[in-house]
Amino acid sequence: MDRFSDFLDRHPYWSALSLGLVSALGYPPLGLWPLSLAGMAGFVWLLHRLTSAKGAFLAGWLFGVAHFTLTNNWIATAFTYQAEMPAWLGWLAVPLLSLYLAIWPALASWGAWMLSAKHKLPVFSLVFGALWIAAEWFKSWVFTGYAWGPFSMAFLGDWTRPGLARLLPVTGTYALSGLLVALAGVLAWLVAARHRRALGIVGVLFILGMLWPAGTAREGTLALTLVQPNLKQEEIDDPTKFEDQFQQIASLSQKRREVDRRLILWPESGVPDYLREGYPQRYYDRMTAGGDPAFARFRIGQAIGDGGLLLTGAVDLEIGEVDGYRRATGAYNAITPITADGLIGPRYAKAHLVPYGEYLPMRALLEPLGLTRLVAGSIDFIPGPGPQTVDLKQYGKAGMQICYEIVFSGEVVDREERPDYIFNPSNDGWFGSWGPPQHLAQARMRAIEEGLPVLRSTTTGISAVIDARGVVRSHIGRGEADRIDTLVPPPSGVTLFSLFGHWLTLIWAMLLFACSLVAMRVRDRYVSAHT
């Protein structure tokens, strides 16, 4: 330990970079959670030994740059599918994004040093954990938010057990992150102080928490067919491939056994055709269904069969008059219900749009600079109103979250009307080998937090049926065209987090900070009594 401390003291900033990388190794697809814990413990130890607030800020920033660069490396893969953008730009975009994201651990590091650097490491760890909670929460909504990769995600167990994420119903994602950060600091103190017995007890409890079984599963009653058509990302917007794509997804959706009611789920980008009436005919001319949205709906209804209800990703247009012509002025990334009779239901429109992917921020400023190529097409997607519960009658109450909306803790459910399940269609074909398992992990965390099953249908990625315990009951891997026939898992009871949302997050931050104040007071009294 002395040699380790000496190395940290001599090379604090190189150490911060290295520990940031190590702390990200617990995320999928690697899942090396002991290294994530060790990396964070080493960083808290380093931070406490620094001699200035400026040094603490810089160390926290370097830690974050390395941590987020490795975590978000999947973003670079998306650039390989942008014909107008060079692929190498993706490998520049990831560290550039990390330069911003790293500000949040830097602020937490600076705040912890300012408030508690003169106190012992356990106190410092509690303060740092409280500020880490605040940092992850702020990062999730400031500048529209970027919630990907909370530290607690590294401690989600394998697909059959929730690991320490079983605590999410009473903590929420960001509070669990802060608690684990504080625990990592305490473990570093136990190692340094050579409290072997206490270290062994904590270590055993930690391992048991990660490996403890998920508990008894309950079965639902609603038949489900979940489809992954394995659409190639480079062909997904190619009109010459639309008919083949439809035939693929339709053939995977056919009714195979007699049931009175069946829910069928297709992914984001699952339907290449426009399904709603009222657009100028030139928009329908690109369709596979003879330029007729009614016929498009009819043949979808034929594919799903009697007793079926389809929920599919689709694109809807907003039509307005520009210079005397009716044209599309915006679009909606939507989920559309369709019955076996071809009747169409109310849409859910994605609310958390991807900046530079689904809309161009500050378009009036950036468009004259030639930056419209950062988004697909010349119009922006329009955000929807936020989490909604759609009552599908005999098919249950559906909560809906499209693609990366599912990563936003506390923002996936209408708290006024709790759904029976969450449908999360996605297109994960952009994101290489690292993005899909991380996306799945965050969907599992939402299931545990809210006590609701999450049903993920992707173009290709990892489609899955996740129950309310966060257990993956069935899945389809990357690069596979297949379907899952099962029953929709039932919801669990209302969780504490589902009731209070991020008020609970802030309460945990205040509790950690209050514990640090109590520890300071106890130590001061102990010192006074022995001097």
- Whether residues 372 and 285 share a domain: the answer is yes
Q: Is 288 inside a domain boundary?
A: yes
d(CA 69, CA 65): 6
Mean pLDDT to the nearest integer, 237-241? 83
Q: Is 382 inside a domain boundary?
A: yes
Express each pLDDT in 178-211 by its tens digit.
Answer: 999 999 999 999 998 889 999 999 999 999 999 9
Q: What is the gyration radius of the CA atoms in the chain, in angstroms?
A: 25
- Whether residues 249 and 296 share a domain: the answer is yes
- Whether residues 472 and 507 share a domain: the answer is no
Cis upstream peptide for 213 (omega within 30°): no
Mean pLDDT to the nearest integer, 300-320? 95
pLDDT score at 530? 63
d(CA 483, CA 236): 19
Mean pLDDT to the nearest integer, 287-307? 89
pLDDT band at 425 (very low <50, low <70, confident <90, very high): very high
DSSP of 269-317, one letter per residue?
T---S--SS-S-HHHHTT-SSTT-HHHHHHHHHHHH-TTEEEEEEEEEE
Per-residue b or e along 519-529, where b marks 16 or more CB atoms closer than 10 Å to that residue's CB: bbeeeeeeeee
Query: Token pair for residue 98?
Result: 């990390």
Q: Is 296 inside a domain boundary?
A: yes
pLDDT band at 363 (very low <50, low <70, confident <90, very high): low
- Whether residues 458 and 505 share a domain: the answer is no
**pLDDT at position 15 over 60:** yes
Express each pLDDT in 370-423 by its tens digit.
Answer: 555 445 566 889 999 999 999 999 999 999 999 999 999 999 999 999 999 999
Q: Is 218 inside a domain boundary?
A: no
- Whether residues 322 and 343 share a domain: the answer is yes
Query: Token pair for residue 336?
Result: 């559309």
- Best-predicted range by mean pLDDT among 288-292, 360-364, 514-518? 514-518
- Whether residues 512 and 489 share a domain: the answer is no
pLDDT score at 373? 47
Mean pLDDT to the nearest integer, 228-256? 89
On average, the pLDDT of the chain sits at 91
Three-class SS string for 335-349?
EEEEECCCCECCCEE
pLDDT score at 87? 67
Per-residue b or e along 474-509, where b marks 16 or more CB atoms closer than 10 Å to that residue's CB: ebbebeeeebbebebbbbbeebebbeebbebbbebb
d(CA 70, CA 35): 14
Number of domains present in the structure of the chain: 2
- Whether residues 495 and 511 share a domain: the answer is no
β-bridge partners, 454: 422, 466
307: CB partners within 8 A, 6+ apart: 255, 259, 260, 261, 262, 340
Express each pLDDT in 26-60 by its tens digit.
Answer: 999 999 999 999 999 999 999 999 999 999 999 99
d(CA 421, CA 455): 8
pLDDT score at 108? 98
**Count of other CB atoms within 10 angstroms of residue 344:** 18
Q: Residue type at 206?
A: F
Distances (CA, A) of 385 to 304, 353, 411, 418: 29, 11, 12, 16
pLDDT score at 269? 85
- Whether residues 170 and 305 share a domain: the answer is no
d(CA 88, CA 80): 8
CATH number of the domain enclosing 266: 3.60.110.10
Mean pLDDT to the nearest integer, 265-273? 92
- Whether residues 521 and 399 share a domain: the answer is no
**Count of other CB atoms within 10 angstroms of residue 170:** 14
- Whether residues 378 and 278 share a domain: the answer is yes
CB 110 within 8 A of CB 56: yes
Q: Is 239 inside a domain boundary?
A: yes
458: CB partners within 8 A, 6+ apart: 228, 267, 268, 425, 426, 427, 428, 429, 436
- Whether residues 456 and 522 share a domain: the answer is no
Q: Is 395 inside a domain boundary?
A: yes
- Whether residues 54 and 129 share a domain: the answer is yes
**pLDDT at position 233 over 60:** yes
Mean pLDDT to the nearest integer, 471-500? 96
Structural domain of 257: 223-500
pLDDT score at 6? 77
Give SS3 for 473: strand
Q: Residue type at 76?
A: A
Q: How far is CA 406 from the centre of its chain?
A: 5
pLDDT score at 235? 81
Express each pLDDT in 147-165 by its tens digit.
Answer: 999 999 999 999 999 999 9
